[in-house]
Structure 1
Amino acid sequence: MTPTDPALQRALDRERAHHDHCTTVFAAMVDGAQEHVVTGEDVSASGADAEVLGYRLRSRAEELRELPEGPLFFGRLDFAAGEDPERALHIGRLRITEHPAAPPLVVDWRAPVSRAFYQATAEDPRGVAVRRRFGWAPGGRGAPGDLTGLEDEHLGRGESRASDIVAREIERPRVGPMRDIAATIQPEQDDLVRAGLTTTVCVQGAPGTGKTAVGLHRAAYLLYTHPRRIRRGGLLILGPHPAFLSYIAEVLPALGETGVRQSTLAREIARHPVTRTDGAHTAAVKHDARTAEVLRRALYARVDPEAAGPLAVPDGSYRWRVPAEALARIVADVRAEEPPYTVGRERVRARIVRYVQDSAERRAGPRTDAWVRRVERARPIGAHLDAVWPRVRPEEVVARLLTDSGALARAADGLLDAEEQEALLRTDRVPRSWKSARWSAADLVLLDEVAGLLEHPEGYGHIVVDEAQDLSPMECRAVARRSAFGSLTVLGDLAQGTTPWAARSWPDTLAHLGRPDAAVVPLTTGFRVPQAVVALANRLLERLDVDVPAARSLRGDGELAIRPAGPGRLTGVVVDAVRAALAREGSVAVVAADPDAPRLRDALAAAGIPAAGPGEPDARVAVVPASVVKGLEYDHVVAVEPAAIAEAEGPDGRGLHRLYVVLTRAVSRLDVVHARPLPF
């Protein structure tokens, strides 16, 4: 069909009319949801019922109100030949129906019946006769004129074709935050999105393969498919830095899901502000998995079964005696059970009380609950507990370990060598107590580990971990504690690991996450990074010390330019490259080594080109330090002085990995500006 084809025009008119009807019905759904909030609170059987019902109704009304404006459907399935609208299902971002019992006008993309839209092929049509895709004007709000085209794939006739609409959507300029990909999900992505609630999935995704989008859409799918279980446990999205969270913030609301916590691991474990910086070697030791055992030893070294003698518990004028041997045995038995430290302390208290109760009942018969509670609060039992199983804060354990060489030596014996122990000991002013201690970012990981030994943290039903290759073993343990009774979606690319402790194999990382048996699924087909950029990145990939398959791209439309700069001309060439990029559509990012970013921003401002930072996704031009560009995408990237980007990580860093990240942020065009020899 062509745009002038009368049959196409008639089909477009019918679809536009259907969308107008859906828009009217959706507006009524929003109004009806608000009316239910008002009436629902008056029909409940009790105040508690009213509160629960009101919360649910208000949440539903809020979700509908917050859905961003835009097209209400992007696809259609005909399960019988022909154009009979009664036999068609329109696929969109949420279900739209005139009445709960009426057939839906639009089916949610997550519904089981919608899966055929993503999975049906000419070889396996899954009962689909025609798959229709709709083309909408970029940025449109769902007005009739925004529906600009459609294309049909007659699977029932064995017809198979590449979708021009999908290609245009993927290649659309990327100004602003990340968009959802519900209309363009590929079959291999769909398999991951619809993985079961209890399944932990690890995605090794090459640049541009949509692994972040897969994780976010899986979160939306789980919220739709298991709403009660997920909302009861909670769902957490963990990103690498705040700029990344700003970039992805609108994806889940666009899919009709609100109230999902999106955070960084640093925020989740932040018990104190970071006010000091560790050296590279010190930070590496703190992030090492062996340090977890050092901390466990340091904590449980405070438990001493022999620290108190026999116990006398007052009961009126009588004293119940508990021999020292019995007390030591109770403490030793509880210690052997390895409960959380705080639980163990209370378990010791309960068993001492039970010992006293047994003695009392043998002498005078059953005791009342009030009597048991009185004995539990007896001062001698509290004093005994403080001696054999003292209360403790995480800060006390970590502060002592980092300032007391003797305590550290005992806890680290056989685990850390003398040099590693010396790296942990603080050389600056030793605080008088933990209350005046200053903490580094790595110290917060240690504090979280000890807090997890004291008592289990509140967990989540599901956690999506993006850029997981950069997590240290100790950070993985922090995530594992928060998903002990849930599942994970682990997203990353070993080639993009840039921290000193970045993973070199997924099995190791998954073991630290508590999911050693999770499947690792590779995504190697790039839908966003052009072929020319992927080819350049693959040249660099050969020099990285990771075993990952080379990426390939389905896009041949991108551009790559290498721009040498003569002496003193680097900044001028960057300005010229940005000016040329602004003549085209899309976002522009100047990415440079962190120390160079302020100078380049000033140079652009002097040339009359205002540039924002990485935390402003709507900006047309941004200057982005290389250390925070991970996970972001721009239409046009100007990569400045690759040699400086690689060297900024230090002689023992992962500078080439950082450069690999920088080179793969462009989704249309990449300019490489350099005055020094290129590292690839």
Structure 2
Amino acid sequence: MSSYSAQIREEQHAVDRAYGRLDALRAQTRSRLSEVRAAGSHGSPTQRTERDSFATMYEDRLAQLRAVEDRLVFGRLDNKDGQRRYIGRIGLLDEDHEPILTDWRAEAARPFYEATPSHHGDIVMRRHITLHFRTVTGVEDEVLDVHSDHVGEASDNGTLTGEGALLASLSSRRTGKMTDIVATIQAEQDKIIRADLQGAVVVQGGPGTGKTAVALHRAAYLLYTHRRMLNNSGVLIIGPSNTFLRYIDQVLPSLGETGVVSRTIGDLLPGVEATAVDEPHVAALKGDRRMVRMIANAVTGRERIPANLPDITINGVRLTLRAEYIKNAINDARRTRQPHNKARETFVHSVIGQMRAQYVQQLDYTPERSELNEAQHQLYMNDKLRVTLNLAWLPMDARWLLDQLFAKPEQLRRFAPWLSDDEIAMLQRPKGSPLTRSDIPLLDEAMELLGPDPHEAARQAARDAARAEQEQYAKDTLSQNGIGSGIVSSQRLMEEMEGSGSDLLAQRAAADREWTYGHIVVDEAQELTAMDWHMLIRRCPSRSFTIVGDVAQTSALGGTRNWRTTMNQLFGPKHWSLNELTINYRNPKEVSNLACDFARGEGLYISTVNAVRSVPESVERHIVADHDALLRTVGEDTAALTRDFVIVNGTGRVAVIAPDDMLGEVRASVHKALRAALGDHDAQALIDQPDVDAQVSVCNAQYVKGLEYDAVVVVEPGAIESQAPSRAVAASDLYVDLTRPTQRLFIVRTTQDEQLLPM
């Protein structure tokens, strides 16, 4: 058995012990709860109250024990005396009250989040333990004391990772998979992590400087320090892609029970899926802050006085719908400041009220209330009046509104008069077109102004009625079992019956468009447009944000290239702080220098000062004569790098980054070379891997945003630049491409491509 396998086996014993104790506590708690329930409603009021109190306590304990099933254990701290402390989602003691597991929120667990090589106290090593259900699938060690024997032990065991590994091997060449993110904290990062919850903390840093690590550790710190508030409101993490969110989710076990929701902008709206991507210039237009005004204009444009107002007859009395009635009703509805569809109730009620008054005026007697009620009912049911009221105040669905806008250029011209004819033509698309990622903030704005459409409101009312019925059943159950005094709520029992509990926070938040979070973390924040930010700030009224990004990597035309300009508009000059990270842990010095020199030459702002390690021959340039030779060389280079870095146990990643119009033929060439080098069986196993788990990826610059690989092949950088929507975006895209590898960078190009872009 290998040393790494021995470490897995050792940790499995510790995890089995923790789960065994968890199961025993669950059984014990269930038994005690059953005893309390079996006592029924007999005894004095004091005795019943006491039983209710115990029932509540056992219900709470059961919910807590059930909520920690997933990833119960996720870490270990070793001190200089050789003592070990396991960290998990709950504190567990054995029958002799000796610790098995330390709650991540406890003071004793703080070093798991905060210890650094320069400030580690008596902690010499921090271990991350990865579980799949109850099985240990991986361990990674961060040696915090580089003079400790743990450095050699972890290196021999194949578990060494993190900054400890880097500091211990500055002059050596890393051969395995680098940790997903640099999860260690240095002095320049400490102040960011410990910054106050209020306001926006912006972290600017180049590739490999640990921006994501800082953001996640800060989230953990805030959840620990402000546990009560954030446990109730939750934390939202926004990333550039689902691949990226999956990538960082592996290092977030400490956030498992705290209501963390991970989303991209494109899937932030519950039940809405953006399946398309706009051309960059179109995305920039949709990201313009003035689109708020366009949506508002489109909504108010459906609040109007129709050209033709009908006469109707009620009980033989002829009534005229007058323009002033519509105008008054519109004013009445707008004064409610309710969303359009909700305010429509006031609008209709106001018109009907004025028509009813006209009915009374037409009579030569004072009608009884029953006659007035009947007349009013006929007004509500009159087809002519209903059609006219719909024309005057149209009930709308947000998606329908957006579909109408982009399908009808005259509407764009009317509701967004600042758009040029060319811009209108760019935005126009056929009815029923799939939603794009850039549509989502516009759709969110429309939903905010419109409120639920009437059909959805009816469905929600039905769901509410069904839930009320369930809650009544829960109340009856409590009463029948003698614990119905209210100490145990029907809501609590209903959650128990549904198999839910405290972990439902994230699900509830993700399913509720109007949910407001206590804190939002935004990664790759430089890519967000003004409309994206508008959407996010709505979800965090306290404006408590951790914002990480790099303005040198901005590829969105509507993104940020100057933090001060964007943040001052969003938060005001006094309510945000700019913090800069300068040390590159990811790339070898040779790769970092090449990338930084290129970016500076293109006029990008580069904040990285130094890379911490050197890997000789980590950069190779292969220049070939023609296209066929290019494809052959890319395949051969990829196969060679796969042999060097990809291991059958799932570790190791190689990326081939190519121009969009070459992806198909590059992929075919890579697959052919893999079969020749590895054999059909092993090559096919790699080829069949899903994109999110692919160890050999053929992709474009956008896909690799925020990710890292052991080795990267950049194909035809001049062509990649020429396909970008602007020179600044081209430079940013190539800067991203060049800074993905942790070990090796190959640049493969034709002589013609070299003339396009010297590098």
TM-score by length of 1: 0.73
Change (3 A) 1:24 1:439: closer
1:178 maps onto 2:180 in alignment: yes
1:500 maps onto 2:504 in alignment: no
Change (3 A) 1:201 1:112: farther
Deviates more, 1:27-36 or 1:526-535: 27-36
Counterpart CA distance in 2 for 1:497 and 1:474 is: 16
- Check conservation: 1:561, 1:671, Cα contact below 8 A: yes
1:98 maps onto 2:93 in alignment: yes
Question: Which of 435, 439, 442 does residue 446 from structure 1 map onto?
Answer: 442
Change (3 A) 1:323 1:626: closer
Deviates more, 1:661-670 or 1:214-223: 214-223
- Check conservation: 1:276, 1:440, Cα contact below 8 A: yes
Change (3 A) 1:246 1:23: closer
Deviates more, 1:24-33 or 1:267-276: 267-276
Give 1:489 shift.
Answer: 2.5
Counterpart CA distance in 1 for 2:730 and 2:688 is: 22
Alignment of 1:326-337 (within 5 A): 328-329=327-328, 331-332=330-331, 334-335=333-334
> Match of 2:730?
655
Aligned length in residues: 621
Q: Deviations over 1:337-389 (max 9, x none)?
A: 7543234334556888999999xxxxx9xx9xxx9xx9999658978864653
> Match of 2:295?
295
Change (3 A) 1:115 1:349: farther
Give 1:513 shift.
Answer: 5.8
Deviates more, 1:343-352 or 1:624-633: 343-352
> Match of 1:209?
209
1:646 maps onto 2:721 in alignment: yes
Give 1:628 shift.
Answer: 0.5
> Match of 1:132?
123
Counterpart CA distance in 2 for 1:234 and 1:121 is: 27
- Check conservation: 1:394, 1:451, Cα contact below 8 A: yes
Question: Which of 623, 627, 652 does residue 698 from structure 2 map onto?
Answer: 623
Counterpart CA distance in 1 for 2:262 and 2:434 is: 27
> Match of 1:477?
534
- Check conservation: 2:30, 2:58, Cα contact below 8 A: no
- The higher relative CO (CA closer than 8 Å, separation ≥ 6) is in 2
Larger relative helix fraction: 2
- Check conservation: 2:587, 2:611, Cα contact below 8 A: yes
1:577 maps onto 2:637 in alignment: yes
Change (3 A) 1:296 1:108: same
Question: Which of 559, 570, 584 does residue 526 from structure 1 map onto?
Answer: 584
Give 1:58 shift.
Answer: 4.5
Q: Amino acid of the residue matched to residue 330 of structure 2?
A: V
Counterpart CA distance in 2 for 1:346 and 1:531 is: 66
Change (3 A) 1:591 1:321: closer
> Match of 2:405?
401
- Check conservation: 1:296, 1:453, Cα contact below 8 A: yes
- Check conservation: 1:119, 1:187, Cα contact below 8 A: no
Question: Which of 573, 593, 601 does residue 535 from structure 1 map onto?
Answer: 593
Question: Helix, strand or coil for the counterpart of 1:581?
Answer: helix
Give 1:494 shift.
Answer: 1.2
Change (3 A) 1:116 1:247: closer
Q: Amino acid of the residue matched to residue 557 of structure 2?
A: P
> Match of 2:482?
none
Change (3 A) 1:377 1:186: farther
Question: Helix, strand or coil for the counterpart of 1:500?
Answer: coil
- Check conservation: 2:266, 2:274, Cα contact below 8 A: no
Give 1:293 shift.
Answer: 0.8
Change (3 A) 1:137 1:104: closer
Give 1:539 shift.
Answer: 0.8
> Match of 2:415?
411
Long gaps (5+) in structure 1: 1-15, 78-82, 155-161, 359-363
Q: Deviations over 1:175-229 (max 9, x none)?
A: 4983682xx2334434434444444322222110122233333344444444554
Give 1:259 shift.
Answer: 6.4
Q: Amino acid of the residue matched to residue 93 of structure 2?
A: E
Q: Amino acid of the residue matched to residue 414 of structure 2?
A: R
- Check conservation: 1:562, 1:672, Cα contact below 8 A: yes
Question: Which of 653, 658, 664 does residue 592 from structure 1 map onto?
Answer: 658
Question: Helix, strand or coil for the counterpart of 2:216?
Answer: helix
Question: Helix, strand or coil for the counterpart of 2:180?
Answer: coil
Counterpart CA distance in 1 for 2:688 and 2:219 is: 28
TM-score by length of 2: 0.67
- Check conservation: 1:459, 1:485, Cα contact below 8 A: no
> Match of 2:240?
240
Question: Which of 28, 38, 42 does residue 30 from structure 2 map onto?
Answer: 38
Deviates more, 1:634-643 or 1:248-257: 248-257
- Check conservation: 1:131, 1:153, Cα contact below 8 A: no
1:391 maps onto 2:451 in alignment: no
Alignment of 1:129-208 (within 5 A): 130-134=121-125, 151=145, 164-165=164-165, 167=167, 175=177, 178=180, 181=183, 184-208=184-208
Q: Amino acid of the residue matched to residue 343 of structure 2?
A: G
> Match of 1:459?
515
Question: Helix, strand or coil for the counterpart of 2:423?
Answer: helix
Counterpart CA distance in 2 for 1:229 and 1:376 is: 52
> Match of 2:471?
none
Q: Amino acid of the residue matched to residue 207 of structure 2?
A: P
Counterpart CA distance in 1 for 2:583 and 2:525 is: 20
Give 1:505 shift.
Answer: 1.9
Change (3 A) 1:251 1:33: farther
Give 1:643 shift.
Answer: 1.6
Change (3 A) 1:512 1:424: farther
Question: Helix, strand or coil for the counterpart of 1:630?
Answer: coil
> Match of 1:13?
none
Counterpart CA distance in 2 for 1:604 and 1:406 is: 49
Change (3 A) 1:346 1:60: farther
> Match of 1:7?
none
Counterpart CA distance in 1 for 2:563 and 2:689 is: 29
Counterpart CA distance in 2 for 1:375 and 1:221 is: 60
Q: Amino acid of the residue matched to residue 528 of structure 1?
A: R
> Match of 2:68?
63
Give 1:665 shift.
Answer: 0.6
Alignment of 1:532-571 (within 5 A): 532-557=590-615, 559-568=617-626, 569-571=629-631
Question: Helix, strand or coil for the counterpart of 1:504?
Answer: coil
Q: Amino acid of the residue matched to residue 637 of structure 1?
A: V
Give 1:635 shift.
Answer: 1.5
Q: Amino acid of the residue matched to residue 595 of structure 1?
A: D
Q: Amino acid of the residue matched to residue 469 of structure 1?
A: Q
> Match of 1:262?
262
> Match of 2:343?
344
RMSD over equivalenced CA pairs, Å: 5.2
Q: Deviations over 1:486-516 (max 9, x none)?
A: 6333222111111232221224444676677
Deviates more, 1:525-534 or 1:164-173: 164-173
Counterpart CA distance in 1 for 2:117 and 2:667 is: 52
Change (3 A) 1:583 1:19: closer
Change (3 A) 1:168 1:50: farther
- Check conservation: 2:527, 2:554, Cα contact below 8 A: yes
Q: Amino acid of the residue matched to residue 340 of structure 1?
A: P
- Check conservation: 1:307, 1:388, Cα contact below 8 A: no
